């Protein structure tokens, strides 16, 4: 995209016009968040039991003394040597948020279908501290439409993001929110998938404010540039001369 170079006063006029749109977007986002909170809730009837570093824990236990629970469904299946790069990109943002969420009566827990030992090994490699448990052996991932059986995959389409769609893996990303009432019952309030998770990525929010934005249009898919944080090569210096310059 070609950009005009203008005077400060011309830039300020354009910036104020954009500010009006930004404020409109903020108000629309507030309305959308209110509609999300107004969704009805569903009682969780199954007694899901997870493997955690502390032993067996139920879904109710994962609240950790809070009344609200956010679960991130991380793509790490049984036998996988490492987690999904895109999920790892999101997870790099979790530790900083978790301590603040706890001050607002919210626990953040990551769940994967991999065995606990596999989770612990990858978590150690990545240097993460957040709570991460295994749903191996229970129906949690399948019931929340982030794991698919071989039979489902063989049919060509699986239920993901509230529609029947083709999906390239047996594991998928997502987020689910729960609340525990005074009687100790667990209720499901919300789940989001695919681009609905985009808002969790702080790095993208920074890029959206950078002059070139996300700069992904020429890539084969939007996150093709993303690597696990220990796999990046030193960042190139844009505009630098080559080895013979």
CATH number, domain containing residue 148: 3.40.30.10
Residue 34 lies in a domain: no
Regarding beta strands 186-193 and 174-180, do their DSSP bridges make them parallel or antiparallel, or are they unpaired?
antiparallel
Q: What is the pLDDT of residue 3?
A: 87
C-alpha torsion 144→109→204→13, nearest 10: 100
DSSP 51-85: EETTEEEETTGGGTT-SEEEEEE----TT-SS--H
Burial class (CB in 10 A: 0-12, 13-18, 19+), 130: middle
Report CA torsion sign: 213, 175, 86, 133. positive
For 159, the domain range is 42-200
Name the region of 162 (left: φ>0; alpha: ψ -120 to 50; beta: rest).
left
Q: Decide if 114 is inside a domain.
A: yes
pLDDT of 2: 81
Q: What's the pTM?
A: 0.92
User: Collapsing DSSP states into helix, strand and coil, what is residue 112?
Assistant: strand
Cβ atoms of residues 167 and 77 within 8 Å: no
Encoding tokens for residue 33?
């968040």
Say how many domains are in the chain: 1
Residue 95, domain member (yes or no): yes
**How high is the pLDDT of residue 44?**
98
pLDDT of residue 245: 33
Q: Is residue 167 part of a domain?
A: yes
pLDDT at 234: 84
Q: What angle do CA 209, 22, 205 make, to 5 degrees?
A: 30
Q: Does some domain include residue 149? A: yes
Asked if residue 125 belongs to a domain, the reply is yes
In tens digits, what is the pLDDT along the chain, a chain of 245 residues? 788 999 999 999 999 999 999 999 999 999 999 999 999 999 999 999 999 999 999 999 999 999 999 999 999 999 999 999 999 999 999 999 999 999 999 999 999 999 999 999 999 999 999 999 999 999 999 999 999 999 999 999 999 999 999 999 999 999 999 999 999 999 999 999 999 999 999 999 999 999 999 999 999 999 999 999 999 998 766 554 433 33
Within 13 Å, how many C-alpha atoms sit on residue 235's CB side?
6
Please indicate, yes or no, if residue 222 is contained in any of the structural domains.
no
Which pLDDT does position 241 carry in this prediction? 41
The answer to the question of residue 137 being in a domain is: yes
């Amino acid at each position: 995209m070609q950009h005009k170079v203008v005077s400060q006063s011309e830039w300020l006029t354009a910036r104020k016009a954009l500010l009006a749109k930004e404020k409109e977007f903020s108000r629309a986002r507030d309305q959308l968040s209110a509609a999300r909170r107004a969704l009805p809730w569903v009682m969780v009837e199954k007694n899901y039991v997870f493997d955690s570093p502390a032993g067996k824990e139920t879904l109710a236990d994962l609240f950790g003394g809070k009344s609200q629970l956010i679960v991130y469904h991380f793509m790490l299946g049984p036998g996988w040597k490492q987690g999904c790069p895109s999920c790892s990109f999101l997870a790099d943002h979790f530790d900083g948020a978790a301590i603040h969420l706890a001050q607002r009566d919210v626990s953040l827990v990551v769940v994967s279908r991999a065995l606990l030992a596999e989770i612990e090994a990858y978590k150690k490699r990545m240097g993460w501290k957040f709570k991460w448990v295994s749903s191996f052996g229970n129906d949690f991932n399948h019931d929340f439409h982030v794991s698919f059986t071989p039979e489902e995959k063989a049919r060509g389409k699986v239920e993901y993001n509230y529609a029947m769609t083709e999906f390239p893996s047996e594991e998928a990303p997502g987020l689910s929110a729960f609340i525990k009432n005074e009687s100790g019952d667990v209720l499901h309030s919300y789940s989001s998938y695919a681009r609905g998770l985009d808002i969790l990525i702080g790095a993208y929010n920074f890029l959206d404010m950078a002059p070139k934005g996300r700069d992904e249009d020429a890539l084969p898919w939007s996150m093709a540039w993303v690597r696990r944080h220990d796999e990046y090569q030193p960042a190139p210096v844009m505009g630098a001369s080559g080895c013979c310059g």
